[in-house]
Amino acid sequence: MDIVVFGAGSLGSLVGGLLARAHDVTLVGRDPHVRRVREAGLRVTGDVETTVHPDARTEPPAGADLAVVTVKAFDTDAAADALAGRDLDCCLSLQNGMGNEATLATALDAPVLAGTCTYGARLTDPGVVACTGVGEVVLGDRTGGTSEPAERVGAAFDEAGIETTVAADMPRRLWEKLAVNAGINATTALARVENGALRDGPAGEVAHDAARETARVARAEGAELAADEAVAAVDRVVEATAANRSSMLQDVESGRRTEVDAISGFVAAGEKATPVNETTARLLRAWEHSRGLR
């Protein structure tokens, strides 16, 4: 399969690198990372060790069988604009936050699938990405139900050795993913700790409370996500990616804007009372404001 990965940061580079073991992959990102990949290939280290040689560029190609979008939620509009008019058979969002799939579907003349990914990833140098935890990719029709494009994409991921599940309940799973992100990303970013620090203790309690609140909002929106299911999902990801520094923590450490609006902020914007998510969102926004990032 001919695959373009739009957003070759940590996760995009890891997913693209793993896919390149079996498919023709083009990474779309920024220099100096993509330049180094063009010159010497992409080296994957950590829990997966491999070196692959995908194409790498700063603009997407004219077309592909599949576009995998891994940009930050606040860059989804720009990704949709960049991919609009390209000859794509299918698009898969593996992004954090809610609403990304609808934004892409509005702009693209191709089916848009929803997905979640619990692999841990961290760019360590230009041309090098560390896999800090082997997780799973779950994908399917963004509105739920079965989907031939989802089956085809799932088979391609399987062929590349990526742990993959094709699911018929993606709307619920997106809420579960939001609960995981609200629990892990915001908490680790504020406490400046790796995911494994949430196994127990006060940080873990905050993560669990944030996940419970997300589940409550999900149920109000018609998604069947119980509080204990949301907490269990947080614990599974923490265990699988204990050594990982969450994407939001990496953003804070690098002085970059975070995805707080699409995660904790999205939960706090619901009609249900969500004091933990509201507090973490306010603190992260305050940090961004103090650095001129919003």
Chain region(s) in the chain for CATH 1.10.1040.10: 171-290
Residue with more model confidence, 230 or 241: 230
Indicate if the pLDDT at residue 120 is higher than 90.
no
Known catalytic membership, residue 177? yes
For domain 171-290, the CATH superfamily is N-(1-d-carboxylethyl)-l-norvaline Dehydrogenase; domain 2 (1.10.1040.10)
Fold observed for domain 2-168 = Rossmann fold (3.40.50)
The pLDDT of residue 200: 85
Backbone angles phi, psi at 63, to 5 degrees: -170, 170
- C-alpha torsion sign, points 226, 228, 229, 230: positive
The pLDDT of residue 270: 83
pTM of the model: 0.90
Lowest-confidence segment of 64-73, 152-161, 162-171, 269-278 by average pLDDT:
269-278
201 pLDDT tier (thresholds 50, 70, 90): confident
DSSP assignment, residue 110? S
89 pLDDT tier (thresholds 50, 70, 90): very high
Chain region(s) in the chain for CATH 3.40.50.720: 2-168
The pLDDT of residue 271: 81
- Spatial separation of the C-alpha atoms in residues 271 and 254, rounded to whole Å: 33
The pLDDT of residue 23: 98
Q: Is there a contact between 115 and 144 (Cβ–Cβ < 8 Å)?
A: no
Active-site annotation holder among 33, 72, 177, 208: 177
52 pLDDT tier (thresholds 50, 70, 90): very high
